[in-house]
Each structure stands twice: as C-alpha cells, then as structure tokens.
Amino acid sequence: MRSLVLILFVLGGCSILPSSPPPEVDTRGPLPPSTRPVYNLSGYPAEFKDGYVDGCETAKGSQFAWKDPRRFEADKQYRQGWQDGNQICGAKR
C-alpha cells in the first residue's frame, strides 16, 4: 500500500501543467513617473523622452519595459524615441 501511495505521489509531481502564452502587449501599463528611470534628454520633447525611456528599458529587459501600442502608432515623437532608445540601449548589451 505504501508503495502505491509513493508511486502516485511521484507521478503526480511529474505532471505538466499547461502554461499560458505570454501576452504580446503588456496590459499592466507603464509604472508611475515617480518610479521610472531618469535619462538626461534635455532639449527633446516630452513625448520623445517617454518613448526613449520605454524603448531603452525594454531593450534592457528591466521591470520598466513598456511599449504603449496606442502612442507608438499615433505619436511620431514617442515612436522615434522608443525606436532610438531600444536600438541604442540594445547595442550596449
């Protein structure tokens, strides 16, 4: 009887649970501005700065990684900042 219980216990621990695929877009949203990293981007528009930080942190794989899909499509400054930040910070890795 003990053997049967032990076998069932071992087999139960080996079962594989299906995992859900990661979301393509992070639905949590960006963290509040007070917690975001600060970059010296003086002279650039705020939209570009937001995109740069989001793109750079995404390239680094940090907890601040975020790409706002609506802004990326609609805001040229945000999109350019995101692409620049992602490319520059990705190259440093």
Q: Which backbone phi and psi does 14 adopt, to 5 degrees? A: -95, -5
Give the model confidence (pLDDT) of 2-59 as tens digits.
666 556 555 555 545 555 554 455 556 666 766 778 899 999 999 999 999 999 999 9
Give the model confidence (pLDDT) of 33-46 as tens digits.
667 788 999 999 99
Q: Where are the alpha helices (DSSP H) in 1-93?
A: 2-13, 46-60, 69-74, 76-91
What pLDDT score was predicted for residue 91? 87
62 pLDDT band, cuts 50/70/90, is very high
What pLDDT score was predicted for residue 3? 63
In the chain, domain spans: 45-93
